[in-house]
Amino acid sequence: MVMCSFFTAHDTFTIMWQIMQSNVHGWLVVFFAVLASGLNNNFADVQVGVVDCPDLTQEPFGFPVKGLCGNPRITDVGGVPNLIPLVQKHKEYDMNVVSKEVELPGAFMLGAAAAPSRVIGMNAEFMPLVHTETEGRPAVNGSYFSSVNPADGQCLQQKYSDTFPDCPFGLMGNLYACEGKPGKVIEVRVKRRTGEDSLVSAMRKTLEVHYPDKSLALGGTFVIQKGKAKIHVMPREFSVCPLNTDDDVNHWLKHYEIKAPIICLSVLVSRDPGLDLRMEHTHCFSDHGEGGHYYIDTTPDTVEYLGYFLPAEYVYRIDRPQESHAIGR
């Protein structure tokens, strides 16, 4: 059903993986059945199906495009080794350039990244929502970033385009890219978490178990409609001391519990095919000024999720760190 091919392209050390499929809708039907079966092990109420993508320009999403469809692909840019053990501040990227490197100029991109510290003057979490530029049309940047408020130590979320132009990000980014068109997507509705995994981890592990010899990538968005979630936000200042262990990283990060509704932007891969991919990465934002790196809900008895996802046809690896590690992932 799925075949994978690997290619290298250009001097950016971009590596891409293609999932070839002859019947997209039929493949989605099989795919959602697999997800539904696995999610039943982690949630009490599970509904998964293939639906028309809702208009994502409307509430609660407020994206700059209507849909998640049209040549879907993901990319893993840079990586955690650019931050840990010590920051490599010169590692900065641009969404408009990345859209060309994934061979989809003018793409809509969402996901999880680090903010461009050179531009905003500090370290912060970044929630990319960018309709990249194309000939005759400028980029539309709907991104958010979250930092630690120096006044009270709480999470401070801001709209990037309210203050800053252009479309840069720093250090690392896990991005889903598409043409932003309407079309068929996988809808996931789950309530009352009974297992130990987050929604994202439960989906990823389901695919990993069902397709043990394949690498599948998925991207999209979901809303935590009820309940609360655990997140972290990186401090404004990069660590001057090496962060050599996961405990070092966790003590450096600032952790918060935030309330619904929360809009999440997510990318996941079921298995790393030797590209040093981050297996899952999800950032979130809200209308009430809270957002950051999503871990899991903290209210399993009452939590409700609604999500829309598509499998990626390609995976691109851009600027893979020469020296890597598993810390902080």
Break the chain into its structural domains and give their ranges. Answer: 42-318
H/E stretch holding 303: none
- pLDDT-derived band at 61, boundaries 50, 70, 90: very high
Structure token digits, residue 66: 């209507």
Q: Which has the higher per-residue pLDDT, 13 or 138?
A: 138
Task: Give the 3-state secondary structure of residue 6.
Answer: strand
Q: How far is CA 65 from each of CA 7, 110, 241, 284, rounded to the nearest angstrom? A: 30, 11, 41, 18
The CATH class of 42-318 is alpha beta
- Cα–Cα distance for residue pair 184/53, rounded to 1 Å: 6
pLDDT digits (tens, 9 = 90+) for 128-159: 999 999 998 999 999 999 999 999 999 999 99
CA 231, 234, 235, 236 dihedral sign is negative
- Cα–Cα distance for residue pair 179/316, rounded to 1 Å: 16
- pLDDT-derived band at 24, boundaries 50, 70, 90: low
- pLDDT-derived band at 214, boundaries 50, 70, 90: confident
- Cα–Cα distance for residue pair 307/263, rounded to 1 Å: 9
Query: What pLDDT is attached to residue 30?
Result: 79
Query: What pLDDT is attached to residue 19?
Result: 43
Query: What pLDDT is attached to residue 6?
Result: 32
Query: What pLDDT is attached to residue 9?
Result: 36
Task: Give the 3-state secondary structure of residue 113.
Answer: strand
Query: What pLDDT is attached to residue 26?
Result: 65
Gyration radius of the chain over CA positions: 18
- pLDDT-derived band at 28, boundaries 50, 70, 90: confident
- Cα–Cα distance for residue pair 293/265, rounded to 1 Å: 10
Once rounded to an integer, what is the mean pLDDT over residues 180-187?
Answer: 96
The residue length of the chain stands at: 329
CA 204, 270, 98, 85 dihedral sign is positive
Q: Are strands 73-78 and 314-318 parallel, antiparallel or unpaired?
A: parallel
Write down the pTM of the prediction: 0.93
Query: What pLDDT is attached to residue 154?
Result: 97
Task: Give the 3-state secondary structure of residue 270.
Answer: coil
Report residue 25: phi and psi, to 5°.
Answer: -65, -45
Query: What pLDDT is attached to residue 20?
Result: 38
pLDDT digits (tens, 9 = 90+) for 299-327: 999 999 999 999 998 999 999 999 999 99
